């Protein structure tokens, strides 16, 4: 069980990937679940102005006004490249990385140096350059404070590939 707030599922996938690379297993089942069981946390986020007033998350948009809480569950099965299951793969994890965010202004304001470091680490671990990446998944807090910080971290690593 891993509890790292917003990144729990990604950290679990990273650890499973590392376990496969070290030969500890050939196959790993990684799942993540978010359940809102108590309204107290939602009420605190609402009082702090972190939740979208219109119930829509508009990450990286000029009209972004907060994020939206939701429930969900997802499961992926990871297999080593030499596994009998590898031929059925829909995607490949070339490399991954995790780090600690360090000091920041809060949940919706990532630390730009930490963001840049983890992105560069994932590229290094995958053995690829930024221009080879076709998809970027972001935290996307949907807030005027956090989104520019995250976008600038992404720009710093991938520029000029995506933001020329």
CA separation for the pair 147, 113 (Å, rounded): 15
Note the pLDDT tens digit of each residue in 110-139: 888 888 999 999 999 999 988 888 788 788
Q: Is the dihedral of CA 146, 121, 113, 157 positive or negative?
A: negative
Q: Please report the pLDDT score of residue 134 as a whole number.
A: 79
pLDDT of residue 161 exceeding 80: no
pLDDT of residue 106 exceeding 80: no
**Triad 20, 22, 25: Cα angle to 5°:** 40
pTM of the full predicted structure? 0.82
pLDDT of residue 23 exceeding 70: yes
CA separation for the pair 19, 13 (Å, rounded): 10
**Segment 88-98 mean pLDDT:** 90
């Amino acid at each position: 069980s891993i509890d790292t707030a917003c990144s729990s599922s990604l950290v679990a996938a990273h650890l499973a990937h590392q376990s496969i690379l070290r030969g500890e297993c050939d196959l790993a089942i990684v799942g993540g679940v978010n359940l809102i069981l108590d309204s107290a946390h939602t009420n605190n986020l609402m009082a702090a102005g972190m939740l979208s007033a219109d119930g829509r998350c508009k990450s990286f948009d000029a009209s972004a006004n907060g994020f939206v809480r939701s429930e969900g569950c997802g499961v992926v099965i990871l297999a080593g490249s030499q596994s009998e299951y590898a031929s059925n793969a829909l995607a490949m994890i070339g490399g991954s990385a995790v780090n600690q965010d360090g000091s920041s202004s809060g949940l919706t304001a990532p630390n730009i140096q930490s963001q840049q470091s983890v992105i560069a680490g994932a590229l290094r671990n995958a053995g690829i350059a930024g221009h080879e990446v076709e998809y970027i998944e972001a935290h996307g807090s949907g807030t005027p404070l956090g989104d520019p910080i995250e976008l600038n971290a992404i720009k710093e690593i991938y520029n000029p590939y995506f933001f020329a």
